[in-house]
A and B are shown apart, each in its own frame.
Chain A
């Protein structure tokens, strides 16, 4: 998996611990080759191994087979060493050549050149199963190949016990292996015994089949006839049972597996002629040269494995086509004719077309066998041996053709492909499909399956396997997406609206020149003209004092203030609140100065206080102006007291109204307040002689009224307010009972108060320009109203004209 190089002998990667060799391929070469082989071949190959280790584990029939070969080994002494030359050597592609090679090896034991060379090469190349077959035969023949003692011993021996398990078709072979001289005497004593035991071991269908054989061909094993049924067709009384056995044969066919029957449920012709042939009709199996030991032919398994063994020949025989087992029949005929195994001839090879299934297996495993290369190396060894002896080596001696041709020649490949095409995959037996090793796919089902089958894994632990699922699924393979139209399906109205929206957006994006601002806007000019007119008019009044305007008559509220102040005793404490902002000092100083001047003239003791932070300094400035107006130079402690700033708003006013001593202890200059003679009797706001509040803010004036009026206890409250606060404070004065006993509002009230008190203060000084300013303002408002009326009418006339023109 990691891709790194590892020693060849390692099974597991030394870096990533991944398996380097497939499990099914990591077995020994023999095992691999065994896996490649059909079941019946593997059983044959495993036979010698079983003989080495545990002979007791061998089937009885194999043990008996060995015994038979041991017994019959002397019989082969008659055979000449060159009996192998009798085998056909000019047919390399015959799959049954291994029979011939086996025959050759059996007939030519170790001393034979060809057989010895073959045995040595095969043993060296791990084709042990073949060599062991030879060894088995050799051991059986080594003592005295061809000696008469063996034949005599064989003639004296009772029938081998293994024949109880030998298939029926092998029994004629045993018969054929027997020397001619023994066939005359032995059958009478041997055949009934082991034939009976054989019949007991055979499956029921085989027994029935045997019974179904024609009478001339079948000899019941239990029949006490002079010769067994497989010795001659004239001695078999089974012909009488032909009808009965035919019915039993049909029943046996029903018991057969499906793969052994054709579509109609009948046995194939070749099976009927091969397996279910009577012992006499069966061709004699190849007889070993050592004494007629039945060769381990592919059809030699146990009876229980018979169906599987038969299934290893899954080809179908066409009608009229020579049976592949005809060579066995020919062998039988020859054995009957010559009565000698020496005269046996290798039957004609099975046609290659009928063995294409082996070729298919061969091609399927061709890429897995190169490392083994058994057939090639064995063949190479054989070829070398033949070449050294000046002989033309047999193409495949002792090996099946599919093993000897692990590397198909180029000329045979097309033919093999044609054969594969001619085969029907469905005819492949299930047991053969089950034989296929894991990782090797079965028949390709289609094009995709064919592509996957052809794909061979190149790396990783699955390297070398074909048909492995690809790591990248086909889904991930990018495909060109289908094209969809991007043009929206819109109606004409929608398109028109979209175009309108697009035009609007484009219009918004286009820069538009800003309207050039006039150098002097009309409003600016108008404002400037009005300001100049007002300022000039006021200046004229200030500078010239002309024209003189009569001072207004004081109202009741002003007269009430004057009267209350007039009634104040000298040095009586008067709480005077300077509670206006500096921005209103122009008006409030003039108004407050008129009242404060009157108070100073009355020689009262003003106590200045303010709820505005700037109030205390405003109070100082007001005292100075009032003092100047009154012709007095006020001393802070003796003539007035400045309490300073009263922080806390309405709450502070309420607290101060209750306990002024607790709230203020020192004046703004730091002097003691309440020990002064003017303030010794003041314990609350109600104990002041008068409370005067100068305020420009209506809300602040309301706070003073609301918080002080309930606590004044008859102390008059006089409000000096700005003209803008008069509309909101006057109700307190006009109320009955009045909450404010006197009211002086604005410059008008101040001028009136000065007039009432006969003094010329700042209010009187400002009265003329103030009136001029009022007149100018009134004129401007009038002119403005007229101009607005005219302009409006002009605009409306233009609109009417435009509407009429349209």
Chain B
């Protein structure tokens, strides 16, 4: 078992090493090695997704209750089975209309969940959080410096307002000067936020690069001295 695990680990390390180099070959431009590696990744991912969908969704939640479940389980499973069959009708243009109700159901439920979650989970809490930045009692309770809390709260409040003001569209006449200044401040805030996001993206990519280079080095080290 240990040998097999080691063997699979070695094969995994070797495959990882090869495909890492193939991906790095993109530095020299688009080439067949890079395309081969990407195609392999896409194929393996698709196959894995299908297998996971079958093993985790279709079989345990649809086929297993119908084939070996209790009568009530079979009855309940018949509904998703019917809806799934209708959903397959979307694949053909002639029977497309039969899949539309299922799609409408899915879209409606999904939209309701997302909108409801955004309102109750993001919009109201974040609005309340922005207001609570100036809650002196809360700041005293948290133990944070009052001045720093007010300054931080002011920046966040101003930043939120000017960012919202940036998206104010003025069509008929040129924007008033004060509104142009607010919009410019909001644009600066958005640029800072996007810069922070870009920095996070770069750090995420650099972390992945470091991990890959570390894997290469480890493989080479193992290849040179397997005992290490």
**A interface, CB within 8 angstroms of B:** 524, 527-528, 531, 534-535, 538-539, 541-543, 582-587, 589-590, 613-614, 616-617, 644-645, 647, 649-651, 654, 665-666, 668, 696, 702-703, 705-707, 709-710, 722-728, 731-732, 734-737, 739, 745-748, 762, 765-766, 769-770, 773-774, 777
Contacts and interface: CB of A to CB of B under 8 A. Distances in A.
A773 B210 contact: yes
Size class of the contact patch on chain B:
35 or more
Interface of B: 24, 27-29, 45, 48-49, 52-53, 55-57, 60, 109-110, 113-114, 117-118, 120-122, 125-126, 128-129, 132-133, 135, 138, 142, 193, 196-197, 199-204, 206-214, 217
Q: Which 4 residue pairs are nearest across A and B when measured between Cβ atoms?
A: A706-B121, A735-B129, A586-B211, A586-B208
Contacts of A644: 52, 55-56
25 contacts: A535-B24, A538-B213, A543-B217, A585-B208, A586-B207, A586-B211, A589-B211, A613-B49, A614-B45, A647-B57, A649-B110, A651-B109, A666-B60, A702-B122, A707-B113, A710-B121, A724-B197, A724-B201, A735-B129, A735-B132, A736-B128, A737-B129, A766-B210, A773-B209, A777-B206
Contacts of B211: 585-587, 589-590, 762, 766
Contacts of A766: 207, 210-211, 214
Given A535-B24, A586-B210, A696-B204, 6 more contacts: A587-B211, A645-B53, A703-B117, A707-B113, A727-B200, A736-B138
A12 B27 CA distance: 101
Nearest to A528: B27
Given A535-B209, A616-B52, A723-B200, A769 B214 contact: yes
A111 to B, nearest CB: 114
B156 to A, nearest CB: 8
A724 B205 CA distance: 9
B47 to A, nearest CB: 11
A535 B212 CA distance: 10
A709 B120 CA distance: 9
Contact of B120 (A541, A586, A710, A748): A710
A770 B193 CA distance: 22
Contacts of A734: 129
Contact of B217 (A539, A748, A762): A539
B214 A706 contact: no
B48 A736 contact: no
Contacts of B55: 644, 668
A728 B197 contact: yes
Contact of B117 (A650, A668, A731, A777): A650
Contact of B207 (A528, A587, A731, A736): A587
Given A528-B28, A707-B121, A614 B52 contact: yes
B204 A777 contact: no
Contact of A722 (B48, B113, B200, B214): B200
Contact of B204 (A650, A723, A736): A723
B129 A736 contact: yes
A616 B24 CA distance: 28
Contact of A651 (B113, B203, B204, B207): B113
A746 B211 CA distance: 13
Nearest to A731: B126
A770 B197 contact: no
Q: Which of A585, A727, A732, A765 has the most CB of B within 10 A?
A: A727
Q: Which of B110, B202, B211 has the most CB of A within 10 A?
A: B211
Given A613-B52, A614-B49, A650 B113 contact: yes
A735 B113 CA distance: 22
Contact of A735 (B110, B128, B197, B209): B128
A412 B193 CA distance: 126
Contacts of A773: 206, 209-210
A713 to B, nearest CB: 15
B210 A770 contact: yes
Contact of B208 (A584, A654, A706, A707): A584
Given A613-B49, A710-B120, A725 B210 contact: no
Contact of B113 (A531, A583, A654, A777): A654
